[in-house]
Homo-oligomer: A and B are copies of this chain.
Amino acid sequence: MPLDTPPGYYSFNEDSVCAFLDSLPDIRTRLGGKPADWRVVEVGDGNLNLVFLIDGPEGSVCLKQALPYVRAAGESWPLPLDRAFFEQAYYRAVASSVEGLTPRFYHYEPALYAIVMEKLSPHIILRRGLIEGRRYPKVAADVGDYAARAIFATSDLGATIEEKAEWSSVFARNTSLLRITAEVVFTDPLGNSPRNRWTSPALDDLAREFRADSALKTTVADWGWRFLTEGQALIHGDLHTGSVMVTETDTRVMDPEFAILGPIGFDVGAFLANLVMNFFAQPGHATAADDRREQADWVLDQVPVFWNAFATRFRSLWETKARGDAYPPAMFGAGDAAALDAARTKFLDRVFADAVAYAGVKTIRRILGFAHNADFETIADPAKRAPLETKSIRLARQFLLEPASFRTAEDIVAAARAV
């Protein structure tokens, strides 16, 4: 390792990963046979980590290991290994609340910053499926349900002060990834970061216009403050369509290494934003056989499906499982039922408003910032890509500067169609 790593750490290759898994009796049993019988393939797709898929005669596992640098950027951008610790800590924190909606967790090896978990098959990444024109009837409702369950259980509605304090204390230390989010999502895209890129020259004028928009910049900064300060629940922190694996009948949320105590709307807005961006990108993936209009409509219709699933589950958990110190049941009696119901509605309206704003921030960063997403990036022709990105980022600006226009998920659908 050219970079400083803790004693005992080494990065796996196909051979050493088998030797390691052979040392874990439960995993050896799960795979069956001997290491020589195991097939190993490394599939980490160039972001932050090594990802091995291991198949044995009787079963399979996935091993994810943190590297001491940002894989997408190379060794010139070092990154602490401890993100693997936070990823497994998140899985453990939410496991009992979201059973069946994450990969099963098998083992964490602290010294190697390696997580052994269920190999999902034949799942593919949701973003890829949507780009390929596939539909997943359950996914929007499943992710909404997932977000509601994970968030409620770790909020001051579903957890006690003492339980939440434990997570606060642990996840406060996930500063490396928090800094990445703060910089690449909030600070850089409208600042003058050398890491920024965009479809050039087509969007040069738009980039200049956005970076000169002082009202937009201070609004993004307002939301940056809220992102850094509103520890409403243990959030996933990166809940986009690339963090979800799917089949037509199964949905799993993964890659929670950005987990922090943060605003609920940040997770909700991430998924919203990525559905909307995929909607705008669809014409860029049209073929002679499929103009993608129906696919685009279907994707956009998932916005209210997702939000309604989230809101319905969240409200139902609040009504039946409140055991935290916010809105404490001890404070209310039968005579307060109507007011409490109204307070819940207002609460969810605030989450929705937050989500719309964070969706705006996250869209801007995918078009003008460092990390773009495949929905647009896989449209090879810039002349096709640029106008679709332009539509998407114009709506994002509306999300941030015209919040009163977005009271319901249907408002988002209507506005996206109207762009």
Complex contact B191–A175 (CB within 8 A): no
Q: A169-B169, A172-B168 are in contact. Are A214 and B336 (CB under 8 A)?
A: yes
Does A74 touch B at the CB level, under 8 Å?
no
Nearest-Cβ distance from residue A353 to partner chain B, whole angstroms: 15
Complex contact A221–B175 (CB within 8 A): no
Complex contact A228–B161 (CB within 8 A): yes
Complex contact B328–A214 (CB within 8 A): no
Quickly give the copy total for this chain. 2
- Interface size range on A against B: 35 or more
Nearest-Cβ distance from residue A199 to partner chain B, whole angstroms: 22
Within 8 A of B (CB), among A332-348: 332-333, 335-336, 338-340, 342-343, 346-347
Q: A169-B172, A190-B331, A231-B231 are in contact. Are A339 and B161 (CB under 8 A)?
A: no
Within 8 A of B (CB), among A150-186: 155-156, 161-162, 164-165, 168-170, 172-173, 175, 178-179, 182-183, 186
Q: Could you say which of B179, B183, B215, B340 contacts A218, with CB atoms under 8 Å apart?
A: B340
In the bound complex, CA of A312 to CA of B185 (Å): 31
Q: Could you say which of B175, B183, B190, B328 contacts A187, with CB atoms under 8 Å apart?
A: B328
Q: A190-B331, A336-B218 are in contact. Are A182 and B161 (CB under 8 A)?
A: yes
Complex contact B162–A175 (CB within 8 A): yes
Q: Could you say which of B156, B187, B218, B225 contacts A228, with CB atoms under 8 Å apart?
A: B156
Complex contact B161–A165 (CB within 8 A): no
A-B contact pairs, 13 of them (CB 8 A): A156-B225, A161-B178, A165-B175, A168-B172, A182-B325, A187-B325, A187-B331, A214-B340, A215-B339, A218-B336, A221-B326, A225-B326, A229-B231
Known: A215-B339, A218-B343, A221-B326; 16 extra A-B contacts, CB below 8 A, are A155-B229, A156-B229, A164-B228, A165-B172, A165-B173, A168-B169, A187-B328, A190-B331, A192-B330, A214-B336, A214-B339, A218-B342, A222-B347, A225-B347, A229-B231, A231-B231
Show the binding face of A for B, using Cβ within 8 Å: 155-156, 161-162, 164-165, 168-170, 172-173, 175, 178-179, 182-183, 186-187, 190-193, 212, 214-215, 217-218, 220-222, 224-225, 228-232, 261, 325-328, 330-333, 335-336, 338-340, 342-343, 346-347
Task: Please name the 5 residue pairs, one residue from A and one from B, whose CB atoms are nearest each other, closest first.
Answer: A214-B339, A168-B172, A218-B343, A169-B172, A191-B331
